[in-house]
Amino acid sequence: MPYAEQKITSLHRWSQNTFTFKTTRPDGFDFKNGEFVMVGLRPEGKLIPRAYSIVSTNRDNHLEFLSIQVPDGPLTSHLAKVDKGNSIWINTKTTGSLTLEHILPGRHLYMLATGTGLAPFISLIRAGEVFKSFERVILVHTTRIEQGLAYRDELTSRSNDQFHYVPTVTREPFETTDRGADLFRNGELSTNHAANKNWFFEKLNLHIDGLHTSRFAFGDYDGDGRIDSLQSRFAKHENGEDTLSEIFFRRNTTKAGAPQFDSPVRIFEAPRGWHINSITMIDLDDDAQQEVVCGAFEEKPQDPDKRWIVASEIWLLDRD
């Protein structure tokens, strides 16, 4: 695979360890937005290549990359010191599956990135085709420190009803300190960013007093053709020490428009020490009735301040 010698045109630092660099684009260099390419330097004559996702779009006449500086890294320790006009070698072959053609169709697209993993998503967002395929695009970028939120101003300025940008920081005080994957698992992204403004769970009145929300699932639980709600919740056990993990059913009483839910009815209580961490409704046996499947893990104390997981299982709940 041949490499084309190109020139560095600019370098911009976001933080002490994160930077963007731009280069000239080789003649005939074609790629799909979201792909990556091998990029390298020759600090001592021998090429040192690494894979980099392309930040720029295939319409741009330059190439743009996002990099982290690894202490004593064979490539990045040199790359972080380049100047405008320095040579850089770029492979003429691109590849990658973070392209629009590899994304399954749906209403909402979630992009979860940490650090420099943001790069291919920037290319997709700048290109714009993704907004023709999805009703809403939610991008979550998680970094350790606030300075690491590369392209923050650009992404904030692009935010609108169709595009939601959610920056999170894990090691400094910040508006959101959860990781993107945790926000996805606990339902906050679908609640506050993917949902229509009139469809927040608060609007659906799904709160249960005294219990902490853990997981939601929606489906026709009672077979009446309406979309019901199952909620996994946990609360302190009456002994004040253990937690109690339960599933509640809430029947939808409307056939059209915004759903209205009956009072919660407890349908399952997990064994002591077990926690429900996922829940879904699906017709497993083709009998036109949706079964409840949940994932759970068992947790036991290791010492007064720590707990550890000793087992995880998937349960099919018996409705009889």
CA angle 20, 9, 41 (to 5 degrees): 75
Amino acid at 72: D
On whether both 235 and 190 belong to a single domain, the answer is: no
Is it the case that residue 178 has pLDDT exceeding 60?
yes
On whether both 123 and 180 belong to a single domain, the answer is: yes
How many domains, the chain? 3
Share the mean pLDDT of the chain: 84
Count, residues in the chain: 320
Residue 240 covered by a domain: yes
Domain boundary among 195, 224, 257: 195
Please list, in sequence order, all residues whose beta carbon lies within 8 angstroms of the beta carbon of residue 26, skipping any fewer than 6 positions away. Answer: 4, 6, 90, 92
Residue 201 covered by a domain: no
On whether both 232 and 169 belong to a single domain, the answer is: no
151: domain CATH number? 3.40.50.80
Q: What band does 185 get if pLDDT is binned at 50, 70 and 90?
A: confident
What's the rounded Cα separation, in Å, for the pair 20 and 36?
Answer: 15
- What are 284's strand-pairing partners? none
On whether both 214 and 311 belong to a single domain, the answer is: yes
Residue 149 to residues 68, 90, 115, 255: CA-CA distances in angstroms?
Answer: 12, 26, 8, 44
Residue 99 to residues 103, 110, 142, 193, 250: CA-CA distances in angstroms?
Answer: 7, 14, 21, 23, 39
Amino acid at 3: Y
What's the rounded Cα separation, in Å, for the pair 34 and 98?
Answer: 5
pLDDT at site 303? 57
Domain boundary among 141, 173, 195: 195
What confidence tens digit (pLDDT) does each residue in 79-120 have? Answer: 999 999 999 999 999 999 999 999 888 888 999 999 999 999
Is it the case that residue 68 has pLDDT exceeding 60?
yes
What's the rounded Cα separation, in Å, for the pair 4 and 25?
Answer: 9
On whether both 150 and 177 belong to a single domain, the answer is: yes
Buried b (16+ CB within 10 A) or exposed e, 43-59: eeeeebbbebbbbbbbe
**Residue holding tokens 């590899």?**
102
Q: How many helices (H) and strands (E) does the chain have?
A: 7, 16
What confidence tens digit (pLDDT) does each residue in 106-162 have? Answer: 888 999 999 999 999 999 999 999 999 999 999 999 999 999 999 999 999 999 989
Quick one: which H or E segment has residue 77? helix 76-79
Q: For residue 146, give its domain range.
A: 105-195
Answer yes or no: are the C-beta atoms of 230 and 291 closer than 8 Å: no
Domain boundary among 64, 95, 126: 95
Is it the case that residue 4 has pLDDT exceeding 90?
yes
The predicted model gives 252-275 an average pLDDT of 76
Residue 100 covered by a domain: no
